[in-house]
C-alpha cells in the first residue's frame, strides 16, 4: 500500500472552554490578510482539516470508541440505526441505547466539535480567498476544497441535529458560522442551512473543474458531485441527484464482486473508493480507530481480540441477502458458520467479517465509494419514472450477485428495492440511520425475527425526536444566541 505522509498545521478552535463560541478565532490562527496572500498557508490549513478528519481527539474529549474523525462519526450514526447489532453491553452501548444523544453526553459533543472545527478552519481559507478579484487556478482549487469541506460538515450537522429536509424546511437548523465576528449564532431554519450548502457546493464544483488532486485524501470535483448527489437526494431534487451521481462515478469502476467480502475495505487504492484517508504507522490512531472496533478478527476492541463486542448484521436483513450474493460472506452464517472464522476461535453467527485490516491498525478509511453513486442514481431515476433506473441498479448488483436478474419493479417498488440494496451494500458505512430519517421509516428493533439484544430494543416512530441528537450542553452554556428553548427535545 503506497503511503503519503503529510506535514501539516492544525488550526483548531479551543472548544473545551465554556466561554469559547463557535466563531471565536482559534489560537495560533492566521489572519484573513495572511491567508489571502499566502497560498502555502491555505494548503496547510486544508491539509490540517483532512488530517483532523482521520485523527482522534478533535471531538474533545478523546473517546476511545468514536473520537477518531469522520469514520468515528459514521460509526456513531450507524450504531443508532437498525442494521448493526451490538452483541454485548460494552463499547457503543450509549449510542446503541440512545442515551448518547443527550446534551450532556460526550458523543453529541464529538459530532458537534469535529464538524465545527472543520468549518472554522475552512472559513479561514474561504474568507481569505473568496473576494480576491484575480484568483489563479491553484487558488480556485483551494477555495473549492474549502467550500466543499464546509458544506460537507454542515450537511452532516443539519442531518444529525435537525429534522430531515422534506416537510421540515421551517424546523430549527444549525448555526451558520462565518467567523467574521465573535458572536455565537442562532439556529435559523433547516432551509437556511441548505440555502448555504447547495450554492457553495455548486461553486466548489465549478472551481474544481480540471483540478487534478495529489491523492484520494483530497476533495476533487468528483467528490463534490458525490456530495451534491446526496444533498439533492435529501432535498428531493431527483434529476439533479441522478445527474450528479452519474457524473461522480464516471471516473471510477467497481471492484470485483468476489473481493467485496475479502479485501475491499482497508486500501485507499481500491478502484471504487472516491474519497478517504490513507493511514500509515505515523498517522494510525491504533486502538482509537475504526478497525479496532469493527474488525472482528483484530486484536482490538471489536471481536475476538479483547472480546468487547462484535458488530453484527441484523438477522432480518441478513436473511434477505440471496445465497448467490457474494456479499453474504461479509458476515458469518448463523447456521453454516464460516471455516475461516470458526466458532472454536470465538466467532459467532451474524458477526461481520467485512472490515478486516491485516496490519497493526494501518487500514485506510473509506468515506465515499462509487457504489453509493449507483444507488443514488438508481433511486432518483426510479422516483422520476426513468426506465433506466433498473439498468443502473443491475450494473451494481449483478457485480455483487451473479444470480441477480434485472428488476421489473418501477416507481416506489423499485425505490424500496434500491433501499434494500443500500442496506446491504453500505452496511457499516454511515448511511443507515440517515436513510431511516430521509425515507421517514421507523426504527424497528423489537419486531419478529430481530436479533437485537434486550439492552438495545429501542423503537422510534418515523420522524421521532430521538432521530435528532441534542445540542451539547457546553454550546448552550456559552452561546448567547442559543437558549433552553432552542434545544431538541
Residue 261 has pLDDT above 90, yes or no: yes
User: CA-CA distances (angstroms) from residue 256 to 275, 327, 367, 399, 401?
Assistant: 19, 11, 19, 7, 11
Segment 95-99 shows an average pLDDT of: 94
pLDDT digits (tens, 9 = 90+) for 456-469: 999 999 988 999 99
Identify the pLDDT of residue 26.
Answer: 36
Identify the pLDDT of residue 49.
Answer: 96
Contact between 146 and 127 under an 8 Å Cβ cutoff? The reply is: no
pLDDT digits (tens, 9 = 90+) for 29-50: 455 555 555 788 999 999 999 9
- Reference 156, options 208, 120, 118, 182; nearest CA is 118
* Phi, psi dihedral angles at 80 (to 5 degrees): -95, 5
Residue 122 lies in a domain: yes
Identify the pLDDT of residue 208.
Answer: 98
Contact between 368 and 217 under an 8 Å Cβ cutoff? The reply is: no
Quick one: DSSP state of residue 469? Answer: P
Segment 148-167 shows an average pLDDT of: 98
Residue 77 lies in a domain: yes
Q: How confident is the model at residue 306 (pLDDT cuts 50, 70, 90)?
A: confident
| Domains in the chain, number | 1
pLDDT digits (tens, 9 = 90+) for 350-388: 999 999 998 889 999 999 999 999 999 999 999 999 999
* Spacing of C-alpha 195 from chain mean position: 21
Identify the pLDDT of residue 7.
Answer: 28
Residue 395 lies in a domain: no
Q: Which helix (H) or strand (E) holds 381?
A: helix 370-384
Q: Look up the domain containing 166 and give its range.
A: 32-83+98-211
Kindly report the CATH number assigned to the domain that includes residue 134: 1.25.40.390
Q: How confident is the model at residue 201 (pLDDT cuts 50, 70, 90)?
A: very high
Find the DSSP H helices in 385-472.
389-400, 411-425, 432-438
Residue 62 lies in a domain: yes
Share of the chain residues as helix, strand and coil, in percent rounded to the nearest 5: 45, 5, 50
Contact between 374 and 393 under an 8 Å Cβ cutoff? The reply is: yes
Residue 74 lies in a domain: yes
Residue 105 lies in a domain: yes
Identify the pLDDT of residue 55.
Answer: 93
Residue 19 lies in a domain: no
pLDDT digits (tens, 9 = 90+) for 50-59: 999 999 988 8
Reduce the DSSP state of residue 266 to 3 states and report it. Answer: coil
Render 29-92 in DSSP notation, one character per residue: PPPHHHHHH-HHHHHHHHHHHHHHTTSSSSSSS--TTT-STHHHHHHHHHHTSSSEEE-SSSTT
CB-based contacts of 26-30 (< 8 A; 24+ apart in sequence) = 26/120, 26/121, 29/124, 30/124
Residue 453 has pLDDT above 60, yes or no: yes
Residue 61 lies in a domain: yes
Amino acid at each position: 500500500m503506497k503511503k503519503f505522509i503529510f506535514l501539516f498545521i492544525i488550526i483548531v478552535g479551543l472548544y473545551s472552554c465554556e466561554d469559547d463560541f463557535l466563531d471565536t478565532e482559534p489560537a495560533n490562527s492566521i489572519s484573513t490578510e495572511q491567508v489571502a496572500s499566502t497560498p502555502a498557508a491555505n494548503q496547510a490549513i486544508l491539509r490540517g482539516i483532512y488530517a483532523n478528519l482521520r485523527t482522534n481527539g478533535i471531538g474533545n474529549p478523546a473517546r476511545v470508541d468514536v473520537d477518531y474523525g469522520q469514520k468515528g462519526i459514521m460509526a456513531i450514526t450507524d450504531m443508532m440505526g437498525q442494521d448493526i447489532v451490538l452483541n454485548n453491553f460494552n463499547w457503543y452501548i450509549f449510542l446503541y441505547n440512545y442515551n448518547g444523544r443527550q446534551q450532556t453526553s460526550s458523543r453529541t459533543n464529538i459530532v458537534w466539535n469535529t464538524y465545527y472545527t472543520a468549518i472554522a478552519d475552512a472559513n479561514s481559507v474561504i474568507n481569505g480567498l473568496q473576494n480576491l478579484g484575480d484568483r489563479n487556478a491553484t487558488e480556485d482549487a483551494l477555495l473549492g476544497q474549502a467550500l466543499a469541506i464546509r458544506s460537507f460538515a454542515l450537511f452532516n450537522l443539519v442531518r444529525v441535529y435537525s429534522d430531515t429536509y422534506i416537510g421540515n424546511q421551517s424546523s430549527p437548523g444549525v448555526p451558520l458560522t462565518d467567523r467574521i465576528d465573535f458572536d455565537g449564532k442562532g439556529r435559523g431554519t433547516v432551509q437556511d442551512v441548505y440555502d448555504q450548502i447547495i450554492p457553495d457546493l455548486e461553486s466548489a464544483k465549478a472551481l474544481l473543474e480540471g483540478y487534478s488532486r495529489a491523492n484520494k485524501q483530497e476533495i476533487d470535483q468528483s467528490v463534490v458531485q458525490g456530495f451534491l448527489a446526496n444533498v439533492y437526494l435529501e432535498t428531493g431534487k431527483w434529476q439533479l441527484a441522478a445527474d450528479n451521481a452519474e457524473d461522480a462515478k464516471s471516473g471510477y469502476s467497481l471492484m470485483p464482486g468476489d473481493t467485496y467480502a475479502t479485501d475491499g475495505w482497508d486500501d485507499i487504492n481500491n478502484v471504487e473508493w472516491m474519497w478517504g484517508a490513507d493511514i500509515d504507522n505515523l498517522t494510525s490512531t491504533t486502538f482509537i480507530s475504526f478497525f479496532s472496533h469493527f474488525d472482528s478478527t483484530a486484536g482490538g476492541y471489536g471481536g475476538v481480540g479483547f472480546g468487547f463486542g462484535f458488530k453484527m448484521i441484523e438477522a432480518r436483513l441478513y436473511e434477505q441477502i440471496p445465497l448467490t450474493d457474494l456479499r453474504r460472506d461479509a458476515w458469518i452464517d448463523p447456521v453454516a458458520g464460516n471455516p475461516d472464522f470458526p466458532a472454536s476461535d470465538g466467532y459467532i453467527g451474524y458477526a461481520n467479517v467485512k472490515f478486516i485490516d491485516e496490519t497493526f491498525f494501518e487500514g485506510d478509511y473509506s468515506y465515499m465509494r462509487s457504489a453509493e453513486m449507483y444507488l443514488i442514481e438508481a433511486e432518483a431515476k426510479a422516483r422520476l419514472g426513468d426506465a433506466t433506473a433498473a439498468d443502473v441498479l443491475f450494473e451494481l448488483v449483478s457485480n455483487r450477485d451473479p444470480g441477480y436478474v434485472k428488476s421489473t419493479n418501477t416507481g416506489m417498488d423499485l425505490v424500496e428495492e434500491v433501499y434494500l440494496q443500500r442496506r446491504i451494500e453500505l452496511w457499516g458505512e454511515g448511511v443507515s440511520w440517515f436513510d431511516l430519517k430521509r425515507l421517514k421509516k421507523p426504527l424497528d428493533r423489537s419486531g419478529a425475527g430481530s436479533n437485537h439484544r434486550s439492552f438495545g430494543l429501542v423503537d422510534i416512530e418515523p420522524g421521532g425526536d430521538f432521530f435528532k441528537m441534542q445540542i451539547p450542553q457546553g454550546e448552550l452554556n456559552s452561546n448567547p444566541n442559543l437558549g433552553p428553548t432552542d434545544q431538541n427535545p
